[in-house]
Structure 1
Amino acid sequence: MNADYITYRRATSVSLIGLTLQALMCITLLVYGFMMRDAYPADATTDVLRAQAESRIAIGDLPAIAAAMMMGVGCLAWLALAITFDQHRRERIEALEASTLGEQGVGSVFGQKNENEFKPAARRLAAMHRVFLPIISLVMAAGYIGMGVWRLIEGRERLGFKIPTQHLEWGLAICIGLAVAGFFIARYVAGMSRQKVWANLRGGAAVAGGSAVTAFVIGIGHLVDLMGPDVVSRTLQVVVPGVMILLGGEVVLNFLLNMYRPRKAGETPRPAFDSGIMSLVAAPDSVIKSIGDAVSYQLGYDVKGNWFFQLVSRLVAPLVGVGLVVIWLLSAFAVVEPHQRGIVTRFGKMMREVGPGLHVKWPWPVERVEVPVYLQRDERGRMQEVARTATGIRVVQLGSTPSSKPGPVLWTNEHGGGEVFEIVQPSRFGEAAQVGGEIAQVAMECTLAYCVGDVAKFEQFAPDYQREEIIRSVAQREVMRHMAHLSVDEVLGADRVKLAGEIRGKIEAALGALNPDASGKSMGAGVQVVSLTIGKLHPHKDVAPSYEKIVIAEQKRQERLEVANASKIKTLAKVSGSIERAEEILAEIEKLRKLEDAKAPREQVVELEFKIQKMLEDGTGTAAANIADAASGRWGKHMGERGLASRYVGLNASYEASPAIFRASLYFEAWREAMAGNLVYLTDDRVKDLRIEADLKEKDSTVNVFQTEPPK
């Protein structure tokens, strides 16, 4: 084919058509990707679904948006080809004009000059191949790698999210339509690129072919999602960005190879964005030839004439077919790992449960082995796939998040993590018990540990991304119901010991009532509750000082009770000798009081009084000593009075024997007692002028310090 301006004008037109179709594919897929935001309800009821909805509303459908970005970067290739081929057209027109002037013998008025001096179009064309196309290639590489890394980070964070099915039919139709359109333009342009003058159209064909394959794969993912699991669509969230990074790396590698590749004279340089990988997609009937062309282009000589290359070219189709059949037959074997339990499904219907080991089944897609997915929430509230297993203990937090801060945690401290308050009844004492309609709040750390008991029931229970949320919601409902009937005194008091056992029983019953079969009978969630642990329980931080006052008052009351009890023990032990004997005596005194109140016979009362007195006398305390002292005093007084009575009898007998002598003796006895200790002088009244000499010194009024013995 002649390399005239008409040829390049056609290439320019095809490049502009390819640019238009590529832009339409990009815009269509981008609009669809953001349209998927509506498939995620913003009013989701659970935290995980709400976080998933908010994330999806912000970014839309990741595979579709990543593919749209890849198509958008590919528009630069079509634009660069259109500009380059248009410059080729201008260069051909310029060369034709120069050739016509040369044939007519027309020369320059300025004399003989360089033949390229008056060919600006040719110089611009050379500059485009030397500068413009490499710059466009590097810009495309930066776009592929930058957007690919950005989308890859987002995709890895959302691998555990469930893909919605609301608009999948639209997505399937759009992706298949874009794939067909892209494949047709890629095949058409690839056919044109076989002509030497249109060789650079391979870059546009590669871009269109890559876009078509990407849209087709996304459509296949939507089809699989509609028929079964969404594993393909979720995997494409990282596969499409990975392909973008791979294409960017290939463009950079082509750019480096073009710098050192030997060039032939008159050869049109191949742009770095001409992807050899995508060229295989654009021309699937000549895969080996494309590889040979790429190798020949890089090495500088033709390798397609080699006998080995010819042999591989003839046998590649049968080898690929046999390989695909072998791969398909290998899907009849499934390996279940030691920590897994699998379920064999035939066209979505559960057939049997299988354990660890190698199992034979019908090839895909007739039968598949499904292993339950273990999803866990991370710190940001998103569900992440931890492993595919049905064994091990799974933990669900039903209340406040346990604090990771070291040291003691008091009621008045700031508690780390999100606190969940349970509604309980107010205190049954004080003002709260007299006011109706009051409630109280208590923060509680409650951890539920469970394991999978029946894999089939667990798999039928709910979708993998909703199982833990349903279990958590059901368990939290039972916790809320049970706590609502308890008072704050029962929750914070001694009754909290049996609280975990009561709640666990209700949670087990609630989980057993889930998952009804076709007849409406509950099969259960297929899980077993291993333990329910209640950790810290405390009221709100703002009311904690009030509880502290109650505790302090209770401690003071207890202190006073202990002091009173100690005083009681001391007093009773002092009185009776021991606390045990005191309690026995008090019991007998209580019986005596009851007998007196009941008007019992006097004999019983007296008998019990003597018994109590005997018990007091047998003791070693002050009561026994006082009773002994009283008995001794009574006996002394009795004997004294008895002596006085006997003396009176004797005096009476003396009087009867001789009254005169008795009276005289009493008279003189009275005088003796009256004059005892006094100086009395007896004189005769007949003595005249009586003079008496007497020593009037008081000998007993002073103390003789030298006297060793007391005076008698």
Structure 2
Amino acid sequence: MHRVDRRAEWAALAGLVLQVVFFAVLLVLFRSNGSAATLAESWHFLAGVGIWFLIFVEVYLHRLSVQQRNEAEELERERLRRIGGSASVFSGLPEGEPLSMEKRLAWTKKWFVPIASLGIAGVLGYLAFRLLPYWVPMAWMQDATETGVRNEQLTMVVLAVITLPCFLVSRYVLGLSRVPGLRVVRAGANYIMGNAIACFVLLVVMAFAYFGAGNAERVLAVAIPAVMAVLGLEILLNLLLNVYRPRIPGEEYQPVYESRFLGLFSEPEGVMRSIAHTIDYQFGFKVSETWFYQLLQQAVVPLVLFGAVMLYLLSCFVIVRPGYQTVVLQFGRIDRVLEEGLYLKWPWPIERTPEFYPVKEVQTIWIGYTGESTWKGEEDKPILWTVKHVTGEEFQLLVASERILEVARERTASQPAESQADAEGSLAPVNILAGALVVNYQIKGGEAGLMEYVENYAEPGQALEAIAYRQWTQYMASVDPMEVMTTGRAAASVALRDAIQKEADGRQLGLKVLQIAVLGLHPSTEIADAYEAAINARHERKATVWRAVGDENAILPRAAAMADEVLSEASADRYGRVIVEQAAAARFNEQLKGYQAAPEVFYLRHYLDVLASATEDVRKFVVTLKDPGKVLLIVDEQEKLPPGLLGLGEEILNERNQ
């Protein structure tokens, strides 16, 4: 008669309930502390539900098969007593066909357990894939990696409460697995021991986070999914090896979902025994009894311990490469700065050097656009304003116009110094430019500079980039756009370098700005046409002004000459009139003298002068007659042809004369 033990079933149910309850507790705890490692461990607990379920199914079927075997043996003994045969307590069924529950148990181990184990491996792999922050993390994990850890004390208390029952259940189930026929429960003991170890490490990590060393929590948030992935791969490897391993009659059954890796931690006193048993199980014979394995078993522990000690002592040495410096953290606090060379320090975790900083390396920041530049490496080729220079977006800079600068100077010149800032601020810039700003910088060397770089900012390079953007924006709002795009770039580079360095020193970034280069300043491609139109209008205005100046230079001298000419003519006319009038007055005096001397002669002479002037262009005929009154004058008003006209006048005259 075989013993019927139900403790394994109750242990499997207890383990299953603990996995579900602690999953829910850690999930609620994650909503309180925001720890990515807590979230990963909660899903680690949930993945163990499948293992405990398979254990319960197997131990339940095993108990039923034992009960059926006992009942069958009891019936066989009763039958033997009735027929008068031997019916001792130790007599059983003869060798033959297995019972129905034994067949069901065998079918479960052959088909159901491997298929379910494959599903468990898939779940472990999928959860590891979604929990690792570098691939496709779930939304909760992505949010947790972007925020810090909080409520560390509450988390440590809850983790301590979870770790203890997990450890106790693991030890109890591990002892229960030594009972013949209950070897299968060791898989659950190994898995929940892994949960207990993970919770204990998470508790220690939370203690570090409470004292300001939060990087360990992020490392653990990656380590837990990595272990889950390893467990999934181990199950797949066990399935593959189980197909090809040799079968030995009477060997102890070992489920494929049992982790040998976790078994090293759940039963550390039997590490070598576990390894030997695993090797014997896979090869089908006693490999652990060979002389080579016995020698290796005796020497491996001292060698591993010696290697571990030597590896640990290597943390006492620090080698700083040329051009680098580092800081030594003592219990998480900065203790000293080490320059290039070989140094000794206390071993980890008392002192550690988390990072080496390239203090002599020139680093570069390109700001002003997103994406990649399309003109890098083609600086010798002409770049048009209307062509987009980058694959992403360009940073828009507001630049004051020339007219606004003139008005600002006029206002600030006539106002006191304290109100000049308000006067300048009341004028809004109207021009928009885009371009690139190249910032070359390096980490300040020495103890003071490196301490500033390490202590004050988590990302000093990003802080310097923000300062460069701000100073660039402020500077461009106070300069002429045409000047800064042409002849003023060198002055702009110097001014920006000084302004950025001044603010970086004020904020204690620990960075030294070496050089600033202003590249590719141009109007935005969206307004390039309007900008060119404005430039053309400005040049046309200047051309119009210069044409007006030319007209002025041409018209004003001509007008002055004409004025001089009129004045000269007026002066000459005035002089002529005066002389003529004087001559007329003198003539009148002389005529008066002549009139007084001979009035009749004077009258006749003037009469004849008037008659002569009046008949100057009139044809006159002088007729000498004694009695002019008796003469009849016939006036032919028809004009005669002049002699020789058409060759007829001369002939007519000749005929008349004949």
When normalised by structure 2's length, the TM-score is: 0.71
Q: Which residue of 2 aligns with 1:137?
A: 117
Q: Kindly indicate whether the alpha-carbon contact (under 8 Å) linking 1:337 and 1:356 is maintained by their aligned counterparts in 2.
A: yes
Q: Which residue of 2 aligns with 1:319?
A: 303
Give the C-alpha shift of residue 257 in structure 1: 1.9
Deviation track 1:517-569 (CA, whole Å, cap 9, x = no partner) reads xxxxxxx3323455497999999x9xx9xxx89x98x9879867753652342
SS at match of 2:226: helix
Q: Kindly indicate whether the alpha-carbon contact (under 8 Å) linking 1:155 and 1:238 is maintained by their aligned counterparts in 2.
A: no
Change (3 A) 1:17 1:625: closer
Q: Give the superposed CA RMSD.
A: 5.3
Q: How does 1:259-278 map to 2 (within 5 A)?
A: 259-278=243-262
Deviation track 1:487-510 (CA, whole Å, cap 9, x = no partner) reads x99999989989998887666555
Deviation track 1:304-355 (CA, whole Å, cap 9, x = no partner) reads 1122222232233322322222112111222345564312233444343334
Change (3 A) 1:662 1:555: farther
Distance 2:455 2:133 in 1: 32
Distance 1:528 1:396 in 2: 16
Q: What amino acid maps onto 2:443 in structure 1?
A: V
Q: Kindly indicate whether the alpha-carbon contact (under 8 Å) linking 2:385 and 2:523 is maintained by their aligned counterparts in 1.
A: no
Change (3 A) 1:341 1:107: same
Give the C-alpha shift of residue 359 in structure 1: 3.6
Q: How does 1:521-600 map to 2 (within 5 A)?
A: 524-529=508-513, 531=516, 563=544, 565-576=546-557
Q: Which residue of 1 aligns with 2:271?
A: 287
1:462 maps onto 2:456 in alignment? yes
Q: What amino acid maps onto 1:148 in structure 2?
A: A
Give the C-alpha shift of residue 677 in structure 1: 2.3
My pick for the range that moved more, 26-35 or 441-450, is: 441-450
1:72 maps onto 2:46 in alignment? yes
My pick for the range that moved more, 234-243 or 334-343, is: 334-343
Q: Which residue of 1 aligns with 2:12?
A: 15
1:127 maps onto 2:107 in alignment? yes
Distance 2:348 2:538 in 1: 77
My pick for the range that moved more, 495-504 or 89-98, is: 495-504
Give the C-alpha shift of residue 293 in structure 1: 1.2
| Among 224, 237, 247, the residue aligned to 1:253 | 237
Give the C-alpha shift of residue 160 in structure 1: 11
Change (3 A) 1:641 1:662: farther
Change (3 A) 1:162 1:173: farther
Distance 2:56 2:498 in 1: 74
Distance 1:256 1:561 in 2: 88
| Among 244, 260, 282, the residue aligned to 1:298 | 282
Deviation track 1:609-636 (CA, whole Å, cap 9, x = no partner) reads xxxxxxxxxxxx4643663576478558
Give the C-alpha shift of residue 235 in structure 1: 1.6
Q: Kindly indicate whether the alpha-carbon contact (under 8 Å) linking 1:371 and 1:389 is maintained by their aligned counterparts in 2.
A: no
Distance 1:457 1:703 in 2: 129
Change (3 A) 1:703 1:32: farther
Q: Kindly indicate whether the alpha-carbon contact (under 8 Å) linking 1:156 and 1:237 is maintained by their aligned counterparts in 2.
A: no
Deviation track 1:679-705 (CA, whole Å, cap 9, x = no partner) reads 323345633743557765435999969
Distance 1:197 1:440 in 2: 88
1:34 maps onto 2:31 in alignment? yes
Q: Kindly indicate whether the alpha-carbon contact (under 8 Å) linking 2:239 and 2:256 is maintained by their aligned counterparts in 1.
A: yes
Q: What amino acid maps onto 1:125 in structure 2?
A: L
Deviation track 1:42-85 (CA, whole Å, cap 9, x = no partner) reads xxxxxxxxxxxxxxxxxxx2222222222222122222212211
Distance 2:642 2:119 in 1: 138
Change (3 A) 1:62 1:136: same
1:152 maps onto 2:149 in alignment? no
Give the C-alpha shift of residue 441 in structure 1: 9.7
My pick for the range that moved more, 332-341 or 635-644, is: 635-644
1:627 maps onto 2:611 in alignment? no
Distance 2:129 2:647 in 1: 124
Q: Kindly indicate whether the alpha-carbon contact (under 8 Å) linking 2:279 and 2:287 is maintained by their aligned counterparts in 1.
A: yes
Q: Kindly indicate whether the alpha-carbon contact (under 8 Å) linking 1:344 and 1:352 is maintained by their aligned counterparts in 2.
A: yes
Q: Which residue of 2 aligns with 1:240?
A: 224
Q: What amino acid maps onto 2:192 in structure 1?
A: A
Distance 1:706 1:648 in 2: 56
My pick for the range that moved more, 262-271 or 79-88, is: 262-271
Q: Kindly indicate whether the alpha-carbon contact (under 8 Å) linking 1:25 and 1:71 is maintained by their aligned counterparts in 2.
A: yes
Distance 1:9 1:705 in 2: 165
Change (3 A) 1:14 1:573: same
SS at match of 2:297: helix
| Among 97, 104, 122, the residue aligned to 2:78 | 104
When normalised by structure 1's length, the TM-score is: 0.66
Deviation track 1:343-379 (CA, whole Å, cap 9, x = no partner) reads 2233444343334454433322333224378xxxxxx
SS at match of 1:343: strand
Q: Which runs of 5+ in 2 are unaligned?
A: 83-93, 376-382, 412-424, 649-658
Q: Kindly indicate whether the alpha-carbon contact (under 8 Å) linking 2:437 and 2:518 is maintained by their aligned counterparts in 1.
A: yes
Distance 2:133 2:156 in 1: 25
| Among 681, 686, 695, the residue aligned to 2:621 | 681
Q: Kindly indicate whether the alpha-carbon contact (under 8 Å) linking 1:447 and 1:534 is maintained by their aligned counterparts in 2.
A: yes
Q: Which residue of 2 aligns with 1:170?
A: 154
Q: Which residue of 2 aligns with 1:670?
A: 610
Give the C-alpha shift of residue 244 in structure 1: 0.9
Q: Which residue of 2 aligns with 1:214?
A: 198
Q: What amino acid maps onto 1:4 in structure 2?
A: H
Change (3 A) 1:34 1:159: closer
Distance 1:277 1:638 in 2: 134
Q: Kindly indicate whether the alpha-carbon contact (under 8 Å) linking 2:166 and 2:196 is maintained by their aligned counterparts in 1.
A: yes
Q: Kindly indicate whether the alpha-carbon contact (under 8 Å) linking 2:457 and 2:509 is maintained by their aligned counterparts in 1.
A: no
Q: Which residue of 2 aligns with 1:229?
A: 213
Distance 2:271 2:359 in 1: 41
Q: Which residue of 2 aligns with 1:41?
A: none
Q: Which residue of 1 aligns with 2:85?
A: none
Q: Which residue of 2 aligns with 1:4?
A: 2
| Among 619, 623, 631, the residue aligned to 1:690 | 631
Q: Which residue of 2 aligns with 1:452?
A: 443
Distance 1:571 1:162 in 2: 72
Deviation track 1:555-584 (CA, whole Å, cap 9, x = no partner) reads 8798677536523421432442xxxxxxxx
Distance 1:266 1:705 in 2: 165
Give the C-alpha shift of residue 474 in structure 1: 7.5
1:367 maps onto 2:348 in alignment? no
Q: Kindly indicate whether the alpha-carbon contact (under 8 Å) linking 1:333 and 1:359 is maintained by their aligned counterparts in 2.
A: yes
Distance 1:198 1:404 in 2: 68
Give the C-alpha shift of residue 137 in structure 1: 0.9
Instruction: Count residues in correspondence.
Output: 584
Change (3 A) 1:89 1:349: closer
Distance 1:68 1:499 in 2: 57
Q: Kindly indicate whether the alpha-carbon contact (under 8 Å) linking 2:8 and 2:59 is maintained by their aligned counterparts in 1.
A: yes
Distance 2:208 2:647 in 1: 134
Give the C-alpha shift of residue 223 in structure 1: 3.2
Distance 1:665 1:181 in 2: 165
Q: Which runs of 5+ in 1 are unaligned?
A: 38-60, 109-113, 374-387, 515-523, 577-620, 708-712
Q: Which residue of 2 aligns with 1:616?
A: none
Q: What amino acid maps onto 2:10 in structure 1?
A: S
Q: What amino acid maps onto 2:544 in structure 1?
A: V
Distance 1:684 1:242 in 2: 158
Change (3 A) 1:315 1:223: farther
